[in-house]
Amino acid sequence: EEIICFECNKPGHYKSDCPRLKKKDLLKKKKKVMIATWDDSDESSTDEYSNEEVAQIALMALEEEEEEESDEVTYDELVLVVEKYSSVIASLKKKVKTLVNENEELKSINLAKEENSNEIEVDLLENEVAFLEKENRNLKEEIDALKKTFSKFSNSSEKLENLLGMQRCVFDKARLGYEEMNNVKLYQNFFEKKEMIEKEKVEKAHIKKKMVKISCNYCGKIGHRSFTCFHKKNVMFKKNMNDSYNFCGKHGHTSLSCYHRKNDIFKKKINASCDHCGKYGHASSFCFYKRKIMHKKSMIISCNN
């Protein structure tokens, strides 16, 4: 609501701040000063002191009367002022109520946001706890598996030590049915008689005669067959070395493995020209353009059918 002055009936200011009242007050003050100076000039010099006191008293009385007149306000003006300020107070109360409601709404929104943030934090912490619990379980499983493998290694090391402890010496040649005390050689005579040695030699020679004699059909020697004969293999190798190929005239290889023949064939292929397109590097049987034309002809023939 706009503020209206009761003196000039214009909006924008109160009566106490009205410029008309201020102008009237200034004019009244000027008149009082003029009256006081006029009285002083008319009186004589002998009665100056007494006249000054009278003038001052008169001026003070006039000022008090004017102040009382200016302070007097009518009943209608008071009613208007009361109505005006009561409307202002009512509007301010409404504003206060709206602000209080807004404050309560903001508080409720703030509480809801805090609760949501707390719930989100709780969810995050719960997820983190679940992840850590899962990781703890996995680590426990890994530790159990490592303990099992360690126990296996420890058992295997014990078994290996037992096996090494049960192992026999290199010089111990005892087998099944061996009786240690019966086969102990308490004394051995290193100087055997010549007769015993000769008897053993005769027995060995007799055994060799009884053995079947194996002879080679190629060289006629005893002790091997023809497919394992060294002399036969040596002769075959020399023949292969002496055989020469007609293309290069060199020894030591066959026609399939001749390098010069392969190189010559490769050069002929590169220098060969096509009878169809006239280009080098391929024969007419491998010509791409010829094949393409043949393919097109077959397509046309199939369409006509």
Domain ranges of the chain: 19-113, 214-255
Q: Where are the beta strands (DSSP E) in 135-230?
A: none
pLDDT of residue 131: 92
Q: Within 10 A of 9 (CB to CB), how many other CB atoms are there?
A: 7
pLDDT of residue 15: 75
For every one of its 305 residues, what pLDDT tens digit does the chain have, with 9 covering 90 and above? Answer: 567 777 777 777 777 777 777 777 666 665 554 444 444 545 444 444 444 444 444 445 445 444 444 445 577 777 788 888 888 898 899 999 999 999 999 999 988 888 888 888 888 889 999 999 999 999 999 998 888 888 877 777 777 777 776 666 655 655 555 555 554 444 445 455 566 777 787 777 766 655 556 778 888 887 777 778 888 888 877 776 555 455 676 666 666 677 777 777 776 666 667 777 877 777 777 788 888 888 777 766 554 44
pLDDT of residue 106: 92
Are the CB atoms for 305 and 296 separated by under 8 Å?
A: no
Contacts of 255 (CB under 8 A, 6+ apart): 245, 247, 261
pLDDT of residue 274: 78
SS3 111: helix
Measured distance CA(29)–CA(24) in Å, rounded: 9
pLDDT of residue 243: 52
HSE-CB of 261 using CA atoms within 13 angstroms = 12
HSE-CB of 135 using CA atoms within 13 angstroms = 6
